[in-house]
């Protein structure tokens, strides 16, 4: 499944509410809504994290995104002595990631690399330290990194489940849920506080002191399932 996922695990028999939608906003299921006033009308819009209301269970977007979590990249390399006795690559080495069309701001790597977001190619620059032994010789002969990123799903057009009604469905009671739209440049340890980013997606990064915690991490993403599980307060 390539489109974004909102999976409700336990909702305590609560039901969502429907709100008139701010016609200028775009979102995917799993983003967070807040209320705003346009003219004299109270409407739901995408939250900036300061007054979050609940989880959106609709979609209104021109393109879907998805997550690659803990993707391991290993490239063989011929090393030469570097500063301080470390072994480094004397040349630039490129590697292709599993997905292209990466959102640059979402990208995170355990080793410094140069990213081509359009093609989904990373480059280990000359001077990068070899940190992995592929052959078991005891001497590093490769570079290994772990990357996380969000990418635009190709060949699947956007959708608008609010068309015809002009309303959006929002869950805001205490509940457990799973979602695959969150900040992939952050880590999600169990019991970590969850906030809402300036763009209405979940994160463990607190954007400012006026951004309240909205939940707690109860299930971590993995390479086999990129879903993040959260207890919504």
Based on the fold, state whether residues 70 and 147 are members of the same structural domain: yes
Angle at 136 between CA 135 and CA 142, to 5 degrees: 50
Let me know if residue 146 belongs to a domain.
yes
Angle at 81 between CA 76 and CA 86, to 5 degrees: 80
Based on the fold, state whether residues 145 and 176 are members of the same structural domain: no
- Number of structural domains found in the chain: 2
In angstroms, the CA 5 to CA 59 distance is 10
In this structure, of 11-20, 127-136, 212-221, the range with the lowest mean pLDDT score is: 11-20
Mean of pLDDT over the chain: 95
Residues in contact with 164: Cβ distance below 8 Å, sequence separation at least 6, in sequence order: none
Boundary residue ending a domain (120, 152, 184) = 152
Q: Specify the pTM.
A: 0.92
Residue 221: per-residue pLDDT: 96
Residue 3: per-residue pLDDT: 56
User: In which domain, by residue range, is 228 found?
Assistant: 6-59+161-232
- pLDDT tens for 91-146 read 999 999 999 999 999 999 999 999 999 999 999 999 999 999 999 999 999 999 99
Based on the fold, state whether residues 169 and 207 are members of the same structural domain: yes
Based on the fold, state whether residues 78 and 146 are members of the same structural domain: yes
Q: Which residue has the higher pLDDT, 98 or 14?
A: 98
Phi, psi at 7, each rounded to 5°: -120, 115
Q: Three-state SS for 192? A: coil
Which CATH number goes with the domain that contains 41? Answer: 2.40.300
């Amino acid at each position: 499944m390539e489109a974004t996922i909102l999976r409700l695990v336990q909702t305590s028999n609560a039901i969502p509410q429907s709100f008139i939608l701010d016609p200028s906003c775009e979102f995917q299921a799993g983003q967070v809504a807040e209320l705003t006033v346009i003219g004299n009308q109270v409407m739901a819009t995408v939250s900036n994290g300061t007054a979050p209301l609940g989880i959106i269970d609709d979609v209104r977007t021109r393109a879907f995104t998805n997550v690659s979590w803990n993707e391991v990249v290993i490239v063989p390399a011929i090393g030469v002595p570097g500063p301080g006795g470390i072994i480094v690559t004397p040349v630039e080495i490129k590697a292709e990631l599993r997905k292209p069309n990466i959102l640059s701001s979402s990208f995170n790597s355990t080793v410094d690399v140069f990213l081509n977001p359009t093609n989904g190619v990373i480059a280990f620059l000359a001077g990068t330290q070899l940190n992995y032994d592929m052959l078991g010789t005891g001497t590093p002969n490769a570079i290994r990194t772990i990357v996380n990123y969000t990418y635009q799903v190709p060949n699947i057009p956007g959708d608008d489940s609010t068309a015809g009604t002009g309303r959006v469905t929002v869950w805001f009671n205490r509940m457990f849920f799973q979602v695959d739209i969150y900040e992939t440049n952050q880590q999600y340890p169990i019991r970590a506080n969850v906030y809402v980013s300036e763009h209405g997606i979940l994160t463990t990064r607190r954007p400012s002191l006026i951004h309240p915690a909205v939940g707690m991490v109860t299930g971590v993403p993995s390479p086999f399932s990129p879903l993040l599980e959260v207890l919504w307060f």
